[in-house]
Amino acid sequence: MIDLGGWLRALVGGSIQSIYLGGDERRQVVARWVAEHGIDPDEVPADARIETDLRRETLTVEVFVRDSGGQLVLRGPNELMRTTVTVPLRSRAP
């Protein structure tokens, strides 16, 4: 089976990043906060939409889609499919 994640990273020159990658301190703070809510920061795109709903007390995070075999799913030739995950809000955004 083809590792689509590695293949796609090679295709687009390594531009696919999760929110956790890189040395940016803010990005790492947000990654820890997302992880505290049970969401793997490595599954969160660097440009993900992250929303909190204080009235409903929920956190909604955009994440990559994986197939049943754990491979990333392509949306187009150079784009990974995304979906959103909503979980109970445990703490306010940093």
> DSSP letters of 24-84?
-HHHHHHHHHHHHTT--GGGSBTT--EEEETTTTEEEEEEE-B-TTSPBPEEETTEE-EEE
Contacting residues for 22 by C-beta, under 8 A, at least 6 apart? 46
pLDDT recorded at residue 4: 44
Confidence of residue 18 (pLDDT cuts 50, 70, 90): very low
The tokens describing 67, both together, are 């197939």
The tokens describing 24, both together, are 């940016």
The structural domains of the chain, with segments of one domain joined by +, span: 4-88
Q: Which of 64, 65, 69 lies closest to 3, judged by CA?
A: 69
Express each pLDDT in 32-85 by its tens digit: 999 999 999 889 888 888 888 888 888 989 999 999 998 899 988 888 999 999
